[in-house]
Structure formats: C-alpha cells, structure tokens
Amino acid sequence: KNQVEQSPQSLIILEGKNCTLQCNYTVSPFSNLRWYKQDTGRGPVSLTIMTFSENTKSNGRYTATLDADTKQSSLHITASQLSDSASYICVVAPGSGYALNFGKGTSLLVTP
Amino acid sequence: NAGVTQTPKFQVLKTGQSMTLQCAQDMNHNSMYWYRQDPGMGLRLIYYSASEGTTDKGEVPNGYNVSRLNKREFSLRLESAAPSQTSVYFCASSEAISGGWAQYFGPGTRLLVL
C-alpha cells in the first residue's frame, strides 16, 4: 500500500489563479517531507524540504505546509504561470534508511 | 557544474538483449541511486549506493545489477531485458543538509523493450 497519497490526481487552472495540492502520508517515523516539480521529459527538481518540526516553507510562489499531527502537507502555488504546468510529487523520507516514499504526483496544467 | 548526467537519453532493446545505463555526478556526493518511473506510479528505488564501494537493493531490484565504479559514477545493467522493464530510469545523488538530505535527479533514460 502506498504510504503517500496525493490529491487531486490532475488539475487544470487558469493562468494567474492560485491552487493547492494535497499530500497525506502514513510513513512513521519520518525525518522530512519534500515537494518536487517534474516537467515533462525531465527529472524531478526539489521545491521545498521540511523537517517534522517545521510548519511551512516557501520558495518564491510556492509555499508548502506540514501538519505532522494529522500527517498532511499541502503545496500552494500563487499567481500561477504557464511554466508551472508540471507534475508535483510529494516525497516522505523515513526516520532512517535511504528508501524515500514517493507519491504518484499531481499533474497540473495552467492554461492561458 | 553539470549536476547528474545520464546516458543514453533513449534506448530501444529487444527482449533478451543487455545494456548498461550510465550515470555520473560532479557534486562530490557520497550517495547515488537508481529509480524507475512508470505511468500511474511513484518513483521506485531499484538500487542505491550509500558510498563508494557499497551497493544495496531497493524496492524493485530483480532483473538489474549495479556498479559503483568510483565516487562519480553509478551504472545500472540489465542483463536480459524484458518488456516489463520498459520504463523511464532516473539516477540521483544526494547530499546531507539540515534536517535530512537533498536528492538531485538526472534527466532520465527512456527505455523501451520490445
């Protein structure tokens, strides 16, 4: 069973609008949670990384939040741009070991 | 810095053929990884190498072998390719940062096994 679930599976928004992507996880214990952006045909690129003690982390127009009690994270994208069209992947690192837990990703399409 | 590079970018094999996917990083990272990404699934770890001279199995190692040639290079070999190994393969390396470690991914190798 996948320990990292993302929603929605896909999303279409108009350029300039905001959106929020969700990530629920069951990995326990965990050391950190990351959000990656993956453009079509490219490898994932890190957007944010948060430890279990952090609640929020920003990277430009991207803001990630983490609630370790409910095991939920969200990625908020402000004033979306066409270049934000990509897959966004939530990744949870366990408390020990090298095996990361990857979500299946949310596919975002920003239209003019 | 080129970061993580992978060769080839694309490859078509026939069932039973062998090939080696190459990966190199110029960031002086100790740890390197091989993942596969299939439609509708998250990235899955095939093998990893915590440091030069060591390798360990990940979630889906069957049908693959790896070699950590030196600190820079980590190769993935398919001895007898099968259609189930059609996938996109990503190599990654990681460095320790505050709160954990950060992974850097290569551009991927798209493999089709007929």
CA-CA distance, A72 to A69, in Å (whole number)?
8
Write the CA distances from A102 to A3, A60, B15, B93, B94, integer angstroms: 8, 23, 29, 16, 16
For B65-108, write each residue's pLDDT tens digit. 999 989 999 999 999 999 999 999 999 998 877 667 788 999 99
The alpha carbon of residue A18 is apart from the nearest alpha carbon of chain B, in Å, by: 25
CB contact (8 A) between residue B41 and residue A41: no
Bridge partners of residue A10, in order along the sequence: A107
Q: Kind of pairing, strands A106-111 and B44-49?
A: unpaired
Burial degree of A82 (CB within 10 A; 0-12, 13-18, 19+): exposed
Residue B59, φ and ψ in degrees, nearest 5: -75, -35
Burial degree of A50 (CB within 10 A; 0-12, 13-18, 19+): buried
Contacts of A46 in chain B (CB under 8 A): 102-104
The alpha carbon of residue B99 is apart from the nearest alpha carbon of chain A, in Å, by: 5
pLDDT band at B31, cuts 50/70/90?
very high
DSSP line for A4-55: EEEE-SEEEEETT--EEEEEEE--SSEEEEEEEEE-TTS--EEEEEEETT--
CA-CA distance, B44 to B35, in Å (whole number)?
5
For A23-60, write each residue's pLDDT tens digit. 999 988 888 899 999 999 899 999 999 988 889 999 99
Q: Quick check: A90 contacting B, CB < 8 Å? A: no
Q: Quick check: B103 contacting A, CB < 8 Å? A: yes
